[in-house]
Amino acid sequence: MKKFVESIAKMEFNRKKILTVSIGIIVIGIVYYVLSRPRKAAVSEPTVVIETVTTDDVEIYGEYVGRIRAQQFVEVRARVEGYLEKMLFDEGTYVKKGQPLFIIDPKQYQARANKAKAQLNKNKALALKAERDLERIRPLYQQNAASQLDLDNAIASYESAKAEVEMSEADLTQAETALGYTTVSSPISGYISERNVDIGTLVGPGGQSLLATVVKSDTVRVDFSMTGLDYLKSKARNVNLGQKDTTRTWEPYITITLPDNSPYPQRGIVDFADPQVDPQTGTFSVRAEMPNPEHILLPGQFTKVRLLLDVREAAVVVPNKAIAIEKGGAYIFVVRADSIVERRMVELGPEVGNNVIIERGLVPHENIVVEGFHKLTHGDKVIPSTYRAEQEDHSKN
């Protein structure tokens, strides 16, 4: 019995020993795990890229589709009827104002002029005779050697003869004018088209009257359309298109492109804007004059028009990448002098390239976050850096 009790006691001792050893091993494992686990790095302040808010004179443009037309486009027409006898120009060449272009058969008009001239000479002779008769009658009437009737008849004959002379002069002028119209001259200086009729064709009032066209294109006009919204924006900035304003230091001008999309070197000035909007299209017509000394621009061409709509002087400008948009509006993170960021709501203006004008909410010389703001909240402390911005400036240079 004694041995049994001793055996049980020994087993109990071994169990406690094993339990103690096991607990020790577990404790050692826990301590080892804790000591061997990587320590969590201390929370550090985020580094953000900042830029200083600047101001600039910003030019705001609008882009439209325009069409070029000649400053003057004049039709050359036959004003008298007759057979076309001669053509005195080379098609497509430059002609001067008053230069003869066509000859219409002048024979019948020359004959009418000669007839009118002869009638005028006849009536002048009759008027001279009537005047002399009147001069003879007057002294006789004063001496009672001629009656009142004789004097009245002499005066009437003289007045009638003078009227006949005036009518004959008018007929002669009309006949000579018609004769002059048989030589068709250019009404303006410019480039002439190909002829519309052949030699020998009956032209004039009873036939084909359009002979050719002359285009003056030393200066061309560019027509394009703007929306009613563009008009309201212009009025809001007190910019009246097509009207000169001495209070502005600039004028609305356009630049255009050539058919190969290369820029045309000259600028055009807007000289007209339609005072009403077309209700069917919601647009209004605008016109600009463009110098064309080398005649590179051809009437009828379509072109891309870039119009200077406004110049915002000393505008606050920031990069687009610095702006965040939410339902409540747009905001920017501003870095204060103590490196604390402030979430600032701003009012956005027009976009210009990769930048945007800030209407309200920022002042010049404040520092704003341009990279890294997505992880920020209002009141965070940051480490400002301009390294990336400087790097970009160096790469541009």
pLDDT at 320 over 70: yes
Cβ proximity of 201 and 208 under 8 Å: yes
Q: What confidence score (pLDDT) does residue 211 get?
A: 94
Residue 266's pLDDT band (boundaries 50, 70, 90)? very high
Q: Which residue has the tokens 């053509």?
A: 87
pLDDT at 134 over 50: yes
Q: Look up residue 263 and give its DSSP letter.
A: B
Torsion sign (Cα): 126, 129, 130, 131: positive
Helix (H) or strand (E) holding 83: strand 82-87
pLDDT at 395 over 70: no
- At 23-38, the pLDDT tens digits run 666 666 665 555 555 5
Residue 5's pLDDT band (boundaries 50, 70, 90)? very low
Q: What is the CA radius of gyration of the chain?
A: 49
Mean pLDDT along residues 103-131 = 94
Mean pLDDT along residues 116-122 = 95
Cα gap 66→304, rounded to integer Å? 6
Q: What confidence score (pLDDT) does residue 124 get?
A: 94
**Percentage of residues in the chain with pLDDT exceeding 70?**
82
Cα gap 81→77, rounded to integer Å? 11
* DSSP, residue by residue, 266-311: --EEEEEE-SS-BTTTTEEEEEEEEE-TT--S-TT-EEEEEEEEEE
pLDDT at 110 over 70: yes
Cα gap 146→138, rounded to integer Å? 8
pLDDT at 389 over 50: no
pTM listed for this prediction: 0.62
Residue 257's pLDDT band (boundaries 50, 70, 90)? very high
3-state secondary structure of 71: strand
* DSSP, residue by residue, 227-262: EHHHHHHHHHTT--TTS--TT-S---EEEEB-TTSP
